[in-house]
Amino acid sequence: MSDHEYVPKSKAGKWFNDRLPLLTLGSHLTDYPTPKNLNYWWTFGGILTFCLLTQIITGIVLAMHYVAHADLAFASVEHIMRDVNYGWLIRYIHSNGASMFFLAVYIHIFRSLFYGSYKSPREVIWIIGLLIYLLMMATAFMGYVLPWGQMSFWGATVITNLFSAIPLVGESITTWLWGAYSVDNPTLTRFFSLHYLMPFLILGLVVLHIWALHVPGNNNPVGIEIKKPSKDTVPFHPYITIKDAFALLMFMILFAGFVFFTPNVLGHSDNYIPANPLVTPAHIVPEWYLLPFYAILRSVPDKLGGVILMFGAIFILFVLPWLDTSKVRSAVFRPVYRQFYWIFVADVLMLGYMGAMPAEGIYLVLARVGTVYYFLHFIVVMPVVGFFEKTDPIPMSISEPVLSGGAEPALAKKDNDKI
Amino acid sequence: MIKFKFKNFLTSIVAIFILANPLYSAESEDLLKVKWSFKGITGKFDRASLQRGYQVYNEVCSSCHSMQYLSYRNLGEPGGPEFSEVEVKAIAASIEIEDGPDSQGEMFTRPGRPSDKFKSPYPNVNASIAANGGAYPPDMSVLVKARPGGSNYIYSVLMGYEEPPAGMILDDGVYYNKYMIGKKIKMSSPLTDGIVEYSDGTEASVDQMAKDVTTFLSWAAEPELEERHKTGTKVIIYLVLLTILVYLSMKKIWSRVNSEV
C-alpha cells in the first residue's frame, strides 16, 4: 500500500475507517503511483473492466426475458428483439460486447508479451490474467449456445465432443457434460446457469488481478523498475483516470459503430436458423476470437492429439515467465526478440484466418505450419533468444533519455534481483 | 524508443479487428446487388415498398411460409409499413384465429386482433414439409438475417429461376435456381408478372415484386433498423463530443507534468 498513512479528516470517517479501512483503500487507489510514460496500450485494463461490467449489466437484464429451454430459447430471443423495450439494443450490446471484450483482452495480452509484463515480479498477475482469459472463453462459448440457433447447437456439439477424446472415461465425461445422450435441453439449462455464474468468478479474479498488480506496481514501456512515488510516477487520479476515460471513449465509439450499424457482422448467419439436430451446417465455425485455437485443433489428424495441442496452446502461456530467459523486459530494447514478436503476432492472425477456412488443401498445410511455429515460439525462441540476444542499452530511469549515456543491462538485472 | 502516437493506436485497433475477422461466407455465384434504401448509416425503409411487400407476402408467400414471430400490430408500428390503425385492424380481422379453450373446454375460431401473431399456414413443421414435397418452407421472420448476403440473397433467389443448363436432369418438383446452393430449389418460381394487383397502381413486374417483398422481409427481420440507425447516429455524435472534451481536459491535466500523453 502507499507509503503515507491515510487519516480521514472527519470524525465519522475515522470511526468507520478504524473498523473497515475502505477510505484507506480509496486513498490508496487514487494515490497509486503509476509510471508517467505509460502509452495507450496500457489503457486496455480499464477498458476491460468496462467490458466486464457492460456484459454483466446487459446480461442480467437479458436473463429477465430469456427462457432457457430448447423449445423456447430461440423464440424468447426474438421476443427480446421485438417486444422488450430496447431489447434489441441490450442484446446487440451483449452479443457485440463479447467480441469487443475479446478484442480488448487480446490487445492487453499482446501488450504484456511485447513489454515483458509477465516477467518477475509480475508472474502472479499474469497467471491470474490467464485464468480470467480461460473463464472468458468458457463463458463466451456457453453464451453463444444460449440463442439455440444452428451454430449454437453444432458449436456446442463439436466442443463438448472434444472431451470424448479422453481415453477410457471420455464418453462418460461427455454424457455427464451434456446431461443427456446428445446436446439437448439439459445441456442448454446448465450452460445458462454456468454462463450466469462465471462472470462473477471473473469479477473476483479481476479484483485479485488488480490487487496483485498493486503490489509491484505497473510495468512500463521502458520495462525498468522505478522508484514509487518519484518524478517518474504520477498519481493514478486524475492522470491515469482521465487518460483511461479518453481511451475508453474512443473504444466506445468503435463499439457503438458495431452495435448500431453492423450488429450481426461478427456473428454467423446460421445462428438465426433455429437449432435442428437433424441438419448439420456446411461449415461449423466458432466465433472469431476462438479461431486460432480451432485451427490448432483441426491441424492435428488425431482427435486426442488435437485436443491436447489446443489446450496446450493456452496452458503453455502459464509457464511463459519461466520460458523467457531474458533479463530485459521491454521488447523496445530487445532487437532480436522484437522481430520474433511480430512474426508471432502474424502467426496467430494467420491461424485465426485458417480457423475460419475449411480444413483442407493449402489451408490445412498453413494451419499446420502455424501450429508448429506457435509452439516453437515459446519452447525454442523464447529461451534461446533471451540467452543469446545482445540487448540495447536501457535507460537508468524514465525521465532520463537513453541517449544521455545508457546503462548496462546488468543494472536492470540488479534491479530485478532486488525485488 | 518507439513512440506510440494516437494515430497508430487507432489504426492498429482497426487493423487488428479487420485482420482477425476473416470473411466467413464465400458465395459461389455472385449475388445480384440492389441499392437498398435501408442500407448505410442513415438507411430507411421505403414505406410504400414495405406496404406492397406485405401484399406480396400475404397473397403469395404466406400460403407456404410462416412468419411466426411477427404480430399484426407490427404492421402499424413506426419504422415498418406503417399501415393505419384501421388498416391493421382490418388486416387482422380478415384472418381466422383459433383460440381457446373456452369455459366448456372447446377450441373456437374468432377474427384476428392486432395483438395476434401472424397465422402460420401449417399447424406444425412436419405438416409443412409433408405438403411441400419434403422441403421445409422456412419461417420468414428472420430469414434475411439467416442467410449470408441477406437482402441481396433473397432478391437473387427470387430472380434466379432459369432454364436448367443442357444435360442437367431435374427430378419432379425440383427447379433450377442459380443462386441456391447446389443450384436446385424445391420452390417453383413464386412470382409471375401481375400475380398481385398493387393498390397504389405500381406495375407488378417480377422485379418490382421481388424488390418489394425483399424490403418487407428485411424489415421483418430487423424491425428496429430505423430506430437503430437514428439512435446510433445520436450516440456516436454524443460520444465524439464527449471524447473531444475529455481529450482537452486530459491535455490540460497532463500539462502539469513533464510528460507526453
In a domain, A17, yes or no: no
- Check CB contact under 8 Å for A352 and B1: no
Look at chain A and report how many structural domains it folds into: 2
pLDDT at residue number A415? 45
pLDDT at residue number A252? 98
- Specify whether A265 is located in the same domain as A391: no
- Check CB contact under 8 Å for A82 and B74: yes
- Specify whether A303 is located in the same domain as A271: no
Confidence band, pLDDT 50/70/90 cuts, at residue B186: very high
* pLDDT digits (tens), chain A, 419 positions: 444 578 999 999 999 999 999 999 999 999 999 999 999 999 999 999 999 999 999 999 999 999 999 999 999 999 999 999 999 999 999 999 999 999 999 999 999 999 999 999 999 999 999 999 999 999 999 999 999 999 999 999 999 999 999 999 999 999 999 999 999 999 999 999 999 999 999 999 999 999 999 999 999 999 999 988 888 999 999 999 999 999 999 999 999 999 999 999 999 999 999 999 999 999 999 999 999 999 999 999 999 999 999 999 999 999 999 999 999 999 999 999 999 999 999 999 999 999 999 999 999 999 999 999 999 999 999 999 999 999 999 988 887 754 444 444 444 444 444 43
Confidence band, pLDDT 50/70/90 cuts, at residue B181: confident
Work out the angle at residue A321's Cα, subtended by the Cα atoms of residues A320 and A326, and round it to the nearest 5 degrees.
Answer: 105
Helices A87-115 and B6-19 pack at an angle, to 10 degrees, of 110
Write the pLDDT tens digit of every residue in B118-134.
999 999 999 999 999 89
Residue where a domain terminates, one of A255, A284, A313: A284
Q: What are phi and psi of B62, to 5 degrees?
A: -70, -5
Residue where a domain terminates, one of A216, A250, A284: A284
In a domain, A45, yes or no: yes
Asked if A279 is an interface residue toward chain B (Cβ–Cβ < 8 A), one would say: no
Q: Is the pLDDT of residue B157 over 50?
A: yes
Nearest to A415 by CA among A198, A133, A223, A261: A223
Residue percentage of chain B with pLDDT more than 90:
81
The pLDDT of B51-74, averaged and rounded, is 97
Q: Cell 439512435 appears where?
A: B231
Task: Give the 3-state DSSP-derived string for A257-300, with helices as H, strands as E and coil as C.
Answer: HHHHHCCCCCCCHHHHCECCCCCCCCCCCCCHHHHHHHHHHHHC
- Specify whether A265 is located in the same domain as A384: no
Peptide bond into A8 cis (omega under 30): no
In a domain, A226, yes or no: yes
CATH of the domain at A81: 1.20.810.10
Residue of A nearest to B4 (CA): A39
Q: How far is the CA of B41 from the CAs of B34, B38, B228, in angstroms?
A: 16, 9, 10
The pLDDT of B233-253, averaged and rounded, is 98
Q: Is the pLDDT of residue B9 over 60?
A: no
- Specify whether A291 is located in the same domain as A326: yes
Q: DSSP readout, chain B?
A: -----HHHHHHHHHHHHHHTS------SSPPP----TT-STT----HHHHHHHHHHHHHTGGGT---TT-BGGGGGSTTTT---HHHHHHHHHTSEEEE---TTS--EEEE--TTSBPPPSSSSHHHHHHHTTT------TTTTTTSTTHHHHHHHHHH-B-PPPTT----TT-EEBTTSGGGEESS-----TTSS--TT-----HHHHHHHHHHHHHHHH-TTHHHHHHHHHHHHHHHHHHHHHHHHHHHHHHTTSSS--
- Specify whether A274 is located in the same domain as A307: no
Q: Judge whether A159 and A151 are in contact, CB under 8 Å.
A: no
pLDDT at residue number B11? 62
Q: Is the pLDDT of residue B222 over 90?
A: yes
Residue where a domain terminates, one of A284, A310, A331: A284
The pLDDT of B214-241, averaged and rounded, is 98
Chain A CB contacts of B135 under 8 Å are none
Q: Is the pLDDT of residue B175 over 80?
A: yes
Q: Is the pLDDT of residue B158 over 80?
A: yes
- Specify whether A220 is located in the same domain as A303: no
CATH of the domain at A300: 1.10.287.980
- Specify whether A59 is located in the same domain as A123: yes
In a domain, A12, yes or no: no
Q: Is the pLDDT of residue B201 over 70?
A: yes
Q: What is the DSSP letter of A370?
A: H
Asked if A106 is an interface residue toward chain B (Cβ–Cβ < 8 A), one would say: yes
Cell of A223: 520495462
Sign, CA torsion A142/A144/A145/A147 = positive
Q: What are phi and psi of A68, to 5 degrees?
A: -85, 80
- Specify whether A209 is located in the same domain as A314: no
Confidence band, pLDDT 50/70/90 cuts, at residue B15: low
Q: Which of B3, B12, B24 to mutate to test the interface with A (most CBs of A within 10 A)?
A: B24
pLDDT mean across residues, chain B: 90
Q: DSSP readout, A160-174?
A: HHHGGGSTTTHHHHH
Bridge partners of B117? B71
Q: Judge whether A298 and A283 are in contact, CB under 8 Å.
A: no
| C-alpha to C-alpha distance for B33 and B13, rounded to whole angstroms | 30
- Check CB contact under 8 Å for B243 and A246: yes
Question: Of the candidates B68, B232, B250, which has its C-beta nearest A242's C-beta?
Answer: B250
pLDDT at residue number B260? 78
Tell the burial category of A180 from Cβ atoms under 10 Å away from its Cβ (0-12, 13-18, 19+).
exposed
Asked if A246 is an interface residue toward chain B (Cβ–Cβ < 8 A), one would say: yes
In a domain, A2, yes or no: no
- Check CB contact under 8 Å for A82 and B69: yes
Q: Judge whether A331 and A343 are in contact, CB under 8 Å.
A: no
- Specify whether A376 is located in the same domain as A250: no
pLDDT at residue number B261? 78
More confident residue, A2 or B188: B188
Boundaries of domain holding A217 = 28-284
pTM: 0.92
In a domain, A10, yes or no: no
In a domain, A1, yes or no: no
- Specify whether A260 is located in the same domain as A279: yes
The pLDDT of B200-229, averaged and rounded, is 97
- Specify whether A299 is located in the same domain as A274: no
Asked if A253 is an interface residue toward chain B (Cβ–Cβ < 8 A), one would say: yes
Sign, CA torsion A75/A76/A81/A82 = positive
- Specify whether A63 is located in the same domain as A195: yes
In a domain, A411, yes or no: yes
